[in-house]
Structure 1
Amino acid sequence: MSTAAGEARVTLSTSSVYPLGPEAAFEAAARLGYDGIEVMTLANPLTQDAQGLRQLSERFELPIHSIHAPTLLVTQRVYGTSDPWEKIDRSIELAHDVGAEVVVLHPPFRWQKDYAADFVEGVAQRESRLQMPLAVENMFPWRAGRNLQVYLPGWDPVPQSYANVTLDLSHAATSGSDALAMQADLGARLSHVHLADGSGSIKDEHLVPGRGGQPCAEFCRRLGYDGYDGLIAVEVGTRRRTPQQRDEDLAESLELARTNFALGAEQAAAAREA
């Protein structure tokens, strides 16, 4: 599925239907009109299986646009290894195999000292050698009476030299960051978006966009105005929702992204003609 100039490319993360599997994500995305899928690589074997994912892509006529590498705490043994570079390399291989255009990954945990020591350089080397953008995601301090800095070289990718960054608005809420300022500071380095909302709680909430305190609509309008050509992946939590409520949440998220992106693109076109 392709989109016209000035239209957002909005994909659905398989994590948005968790604990249901990838097939449920493909089915919902196709039925609701999403442009593609982001696969969150988990212990579920299908999320690691290029052939199985290609079959789902063909069956539902939806491309797999991005792969989220297994860099979460709960995915420490995915691919049968605890070696983080091996897991990233496997994710890059999977992305190439399914035709994805970007791999999303988190920065190292502080206790992964050897991995963290050459993380920035290792990301850049792999992007060049393996011809796959690695979009490092913004995270947040862990709060337990005080802020615990658990990521190296840090949870904020803006001051780092990454060529590609994923901006997650739920994470921005948890960290107390200004998402619009991050968006402006990143400029062309912003190559991927996780669209969700948050109230500023100590928990990573992944609310439906518009139901928290993040400027989700304005963020999407600015993407459209700037001519952003990357992906907007909806990554919201629906675990405690009924099937009907889940559909409503996913449809509402898609509508907010598309409507506001288009409005920003229209504003940019009007400004050029003025």
Structure 2
Amino acid sequence: MSDQSAGELRVSLSTSSVYPGSTASGFEAAARLGYDGVEVMVSVDEVSGDVEAVRSLSEFHEVPIVSVHAPCLLLTQHVWGTDPWGKLHRSAEMALEVGAEVVVVHPPFRWQREYSRGFVEGVGDLEKQYGITIAVENMYPWRTGKREFQAYAPGWDPVQEVYEHVTLDLSHSATAGEDALQMAMALGHRLTHVHLTDGSGSPKDEHLVPGRGAQPAQSLLEHLSASDFDGEIVIEINTRKTTDQQAREADLLESLAFARLHASR
């Protein structure tokens, strides 16, 4: 990881935060609004998975790519083929080529039985093979009314596993009914990457602007600022319901200001 412990923590923007806008519009927004970098969400937008295209966007807008989010959503199950290990290899290769230090990945779905059986060990092997950080993200049980379904294997909670590096997403912790600050403290040095967002505790994965939900986003940032955390803070919010471009940018600016205020060293 970058040696940022003596200085301010970087605040970057996930390209998913401008969806349904394009990957290109994510880079443009990050540069114009003053973000420190970009996390590329590899998605159905073909540009997002094109190494030369995203590298050109990074160079043109003069914003670094700090991380690559592997295509492991239900929406992206056919992006880069259907082999989950192939997707991770390609994500690691892309990260190396664009100068990113982190690959973010979700745990397998329970129905991906072969993939899930060797996932924990396989992630460790990939890190050694590529010399890159692969940070497994916390997820949540799927809930409908009073029914709960464990959709991820070996589990949705990386605190309970032996991953060397973890991504903490505050919307996911809200949906799981967990406290993000407590999760961060339990993870200790394994906490490598943060998706800064928020949630009300609804069964729906909301990705609210930080500070608008029930998660201890401010306390988490203050904790990270006071610690030796030297990872990335990435804004990953849902702006799909904003009324227009001005409203979307207002949400992106509010998120950035929140992060800068409470993560200041």
Residue 139 (structure 2) pairs with residue 107 (structure 1) = no
Match of 1:45 in 2: 46
Match of 1:224 in 2: 225
Shift of 1:148: 0.5
Amino acid at match of 2:98: V
CA distance in 2, matches of 1:138, 1:3: 24
CA distance in 2, matches of 1:3, 1:229: 5
CA contact (8 A) 1:6 1:227 kept: no
Match of 2:66 in 1: 65
Structure 1 segment 97-246 matched on structure 2, within 5 A: 97-144=97-144, 145-241=146-242, 242-246=244-248
Point out where structure 2 has 5 or more consecutive residues left out of the alignment: none
Shift of 1:18: 0.2
SS at 2:174's partner residue? helix
Match of 1:14 in 2: 15
CA distance in 2, matches of 1:261, 1:5: 13
Amino acid at match of 1:133: T
SS at 1:158's partner residue? helix
Shift of 1:227: 2.6
Match of 2:253 in 1: 251
CA distance in 2, matches of 1:3, 1:71: 29
CA distance in 1, matches of 2:130, 2:108: 20
Match of 2:85 in 1: 85
The number of residues matched between the two structures is 261
CA distance in 1, matches of 2:262, 2:154: 34
Q: Residues 60-80 of structure 1: CA distance to partner in whole angstroms, max 9, x if unpaired?
A: 00000000000111111101x
Shift of 1:198: 0.3
Shift of 1:97: 0.9
Q: Residues 82-131 of structure 1: CA distance to partner in whole angstroms, max 9, x if unpaired?
A: 11000111111111111111000000000000000000000000001111
CA contact (8 A) 1:169 1:198 kept: yes
SS at 1:255's partner residue? helix
Taking a change above 3 Å as real, the CA distance of residues 132 and 4 of structure 1, as seen in their structure-2 partners, is closer
240-249 or 193-202: which moved more?
A: 240-249
CA distance in 2, matches of 1:175, 1:4: 30
TM-score, normalization by structure 2: 0.96
CA distance in 2, matches of 1:260, 1:89: 35
Point out where structure 1 has 5 or more consecutive residues left out of the alignment: 266-274
CA contact (8 A) 2:110 2:153 kept: yes
Taking a change above 3 Å as real, the CA distance of residues 23 and 4 of structure 1, as seen in their structure-2 partners, is farther
CA distance in 2, matches of 1:4, 1:183: 17
Identity of aligned residues (%): 56
Taking a change above 3 Å as real, the CA distance of residues 3 and 35 of structure 1, as seen in their structure-2 partners, is farther
CA contact (8 A) 2:5 2:230 kept: no
CA distance in 2, matches of 1:225, 1:7: 11
CA distance in 2, matches of 1:85, 1:21: 26
CA distance in 1, matches of 2:6, 2:238: 30
